Every structure is written in C-alpha cells, then in structure tokens.
Amino acid sequence: MNADSRPERDPAPPGDAPPAHLPATLPLLADLRLAALWVPAAPLGLTALPSADGAAPAGDWLDVVPLPDGRLALAVGDLVGPAPRPGAVTGLRTVLRQALYTTPTLTEALEQIDRAAGIDDALHGASLTVVVVGPDGELEHARGAHPPALVSGPGGLAPLPGQAYGPLGVGAAPPVPATARLARGETILLYSDDLVEGRGRTSTGRGPGQEVLLDPEAPVDDPAAVCARLAARAPRGGVAVLAAHRPLVPVEPFRLVLPVDPFALSPLRETVTRWLEAAGVAPRTVVAAPMVVSELAANAIEHAYPEGSDGEIRVGAELTGAGLCITVADDGTWQPPEEDADDDDDEEAGFGLAVVRDLCDALVVEPGPAGTTVTAVLAVGRPVAVGDTPRPGPTAVPEMFAVQPGEAPGVLYVRGDVDLPAVATLRAALLDAAADGERCVLDLSATTLFASAGVRLLHQLDPGTDLCVVAPPGSVARPVLELTGLAHLLSDRAESA
C-alpha cells in the first residue's frame, strides 16, 4: 500500500463551533481531500467589539465554495487592521460566493469583488488568494496583495506562478487569473499572510513561498497535518490555513448486491461503515448513513418481494458535489400500504421511509415496472478546525444484540442493533416483562441502532401497557423516538418497578 492510499483522518470536531466568519464544514469529495485550520490571534491588550455570534472579530478568513459547474473554489484572505468591523469578513465571503455563482468567469468575479471592496470601507485594502479546482485537477488562480498558493511536489513546496496584484478596492487593477494543474499526489496550500514577512511580500533574495517550509517528514498527503504544521509557524496565532490534496486514487463508489434476507442487514451496515470510515466521512455521518442504507434495504425486503420469493437488492453509495448519495434498487413491485399491511398491523407501513426522510437532506422514490429505486442524499463535510484539536481514536465495534433483565422486575436492558431480525426477541421479552400488567422499563442507552422495525414494535404495543423508555440525550435511539411519535414514552433515567 502506498502512503497516499491511507485513509485520511478528520480532525475531531472542535470544542467550540467555528465562528460565523468561517464555513461550518468543508465539502467531502471523492477526488479531493480538504482540511482547514483557523487559529485566533493572541490578545494584544486591546479590547475589540464582539461580533454577532459573540466571537472577537478577526481579519484572517478562509472559504470553500462548490460551484454549479462542478468545480471548487478555495479562498484565503485578510482584512486590514487589527480589529475589523464585526461582520466584515462574513460580508466579504458573501460577496465572493455571489460573484463566483453569478458571473461566468473568475476574472469577472474578481472585478465584482474589487468593486465591492471599493464601496465598503471595512473591505478596503483587503487581500485575497483564490484557486478554482476543476474535476481533472486543472487550476485557475489569482491573488491580490496576498502570498501565492503553494503546491507540494518532489522538490518540496513551490508557489503557483502568476502575477501579484494590488489590494482590493484601492483602484489597482483587479487580479487576472492564471492557470496550472494539480497532479495526483500533490497538495495545494493557501494561507494567510501572517505566515510570511509582510502583506503579499517575500524576503529579498528568495523566491516566493520559500518562507513557508515544511520539514522533510511532513505527511503532505494528509491535509489536516499540513495545516497544523503551517499554523505552528505563527506563534501568536491569527492565521488561516486551507489545504486540498488530490489523492493518487479517488474514493471509489460503494456497490453491493444483497439477497432478500433480513439477516443480510447487519453485515450490510458493517460493510457500509467500513467504506465510510475509509473515505474519511465524519463520525456523525458514519452513524446516520448505515442506518439510512439499512432502512431502505429493509423497506425493499418487506415491500418489494412476496414472502419467500427470491430476488436481489442493489445498494450503492458515492461522494458527490451534493453530498453522500445513497441508492437502493430492487426488481420487485411495492404493494400499496392497504394491501401490504394486515388487520393487526395497519401501522406497519411508512416508518422506514419516515425515519430516512428525517435523517436525510433529500429523498426521491422512483417506482417503475421493472422495480423501484430510492435515492437519499446526506450532506457530509469535514469540520473546520479551530485551534489545536486532537485526532479521534479508533471506532468502537458495536455490541451484539442482547436483551438482559435488570435486577428489578420489569426492567430490560438492550444492547446492540435493534433491527428487523432482532424485533422478535425484543417483542417476546417485552410481552413477558409486562405480562402481569406491571410497569416495564426499556433501557435503550446502549443500543447502536434503533431501526424502524423497533419503532413499529413500540407503536404496536397494547396502549394499556405501562411502558417507560430510557434513551438519554446523545443516545442513538433518542432522536429516532422523538422523530417517530414516541417521545411521550421517554424518560432520562430508569426507575425500578
């Protein structure tokens, strides 16, 4: 295995969310690995007015903008002065995004930004480096009064060639883009000008970019590590660093064909989880996405094929500009809910798709004579690191499903995945615990999945059953129960019967 094929590890989510003048997350792409780090400046004894989100204003900023044509714009810049007006950076980012979206060329976008900086005193004299990355590694870049972006290669870091232009909004000619190419295995770095000697200048007698050095052992295929090493060059902070690595091998789409068998769902979730972790997906999505895949596959197993019939279910997942795109397709025919549910189970249909809709950003069901395809999209991204953040440890392996009685009568502790195959065991345990009409406490604190089959079971219980469900905030089961009309059963602690 070459060094580039190692799965990149995301920075752990920072203790505080990124301030409002930074993007909340960076896009997660199959062919470009991104990381960003912002370190606030150490106080100089001056009191600055806080911004709207309560954070001290800052001039160093960065942004990543997915463009409608599939390209990706990277930007790093700085505003003039030690304490810019609160909201000024957010305003500049808004102007930049609008210009990139509404103008056909980078040249016209930069002209629009320059005009805006000439009108708004807070943006007057701002510096900026913009790099637009195409799907095949082609680059279009420009800079105004800002250091050039650097590209890592066999000889170390080298600046992107191109002319330096003046600050924004001062009457100088707007930056004119140049072109280059990011080869596979290379990393491009954008950084605020605090890392070099003076705004947009370099030391006499040395080429551009030579002030920013990485030690020979720096892992240039790990953008997060590159950002951390560069930021360490600014001892007083006040620095923004953005890195994009083009891997030797992009993240391949996930493809799997399943039999029509409920017991195939658990191995499916495990396989999807491994693919997501190898792709560098954030931990929150590693929890949500396998559940979405499992729910859609379970829905196809239950509704597309008659009981006992053969067939297959095709599962796919890939990283796109829109996010994580999941597809589940079958060759069967979904029966209408009134035909698919029997008289004692009329609430059975719909929980799976209801849970998926609440977990996803988009859901499309496309039925047809040859089968049904369901497409779900989840927004995925990497956090922008703030300050020095630790790396996550290895992901824990989920426990096997088990229902264990507590010391007090009527208390049940559930561990592992509550999915379609597990429901029969859980139903029997619940009925036994509530057989004498006593109160039953179901503790779901240790569940690693609570699928729609478990939701359905709780809805189907006799309304007269005195049931209390324990799923504390932060547990896997709690948001599912809240989203599916079962919040009235919740209690934050188990009570002995």
DSSP structure string for 152-184: EETTEEEEPP---B--TTSSSPPP--EEEE--T
Query: For residue 41, which of 74, 75, 83, 79 has the smallest C-alpha distance?
Result: 83
Query: For residue 384, which of 36, 17, 59, 34 has the smallest C-alpha distance?
Result: 36
What integer pLDDT is reported at residue 194 of this predicted model? 66
Which amino acid is it at 133? V
Contacts of 298 (CB under 8 A, 6+ apart): 262, 265, 352, 419, 420, 451, 452, 453
Containing 352, the helix (H) or strand (E) segment is: helix 351-359
The answer to whether 4 touches 359, Cβ cutoff 8 Å, is: no
Q: Cα dihedral sign for 95, 101, 103, 106?
A: positive
Rounded CA separation 207/197 (Å): 13
DSSP state of 398: P
- Alpha helices by DSSP H, 64-222: 88-102, 106-119
Q: How far, in whole angstroms, is CA 261 from its chain's centroid?
A: 31
Strands (E), 379-466: 381-383, 385-386, 402-405, 411-418, 440-450
What integer pLDDT is reported at residue 393 of this predicted model? 42
Strands of 187-191's sheet in order across: 156-159, 150-153, 187-191, 239-245, 33-39, 385-386
In angstroms, what CA-CA distances link 315 with 47, 121, 136, 255, 306?
Answer: 56, 54, 27, 6, 20
The whole-model pTM stands at 0.71
What integer pLDDT is reported at residue 475 of this predicted model? 87
Q: Give the CA radius of gyration of the chain.
A: 27
Average pLDDT per run of 10 along the chain, which is 497 residues long?
A: 38 54 88 91 48 51 92 91 72 94 94 93 90 96 91 81 88 91 95 59 36 59 86 72 94 95 91 89 80 91 84 94 91 65 47 83 90 93 71 50 87 89 89 81 90 82 83 85 81 51
Helix, strand or coil, per DSSP, at residue 376 = strand
Buried b / exposed e over 387-396, threshold 16 CB at 10 Å, is eebeeeeeee
The answer to whether 192 touches 238, Cβ cutoff 8 Å, is: yes
Which amino acid is it at 203? S
The dihedral formed by the CA atoms of 472, 474, 475 and 479, expressed in degrees to the nearest 10? 90
Contacts of 424 (CB under 8 A, 6+ apart): none
Query: For residue 279, which of 34, 25, 64 has the smallest C-alpha distance?
Result: 34
Which amino acid is it at 461? L
Whose tokens are 């829109």? That residue is 322
The answer to whether 455 touches 330, Cβ cutoff 8 Å, is: no
12 is written with which tokens?
């752990």
Which amino acid is it at 158? A
What integer pLDDT is reported at residue 104 of this predicted model? 92
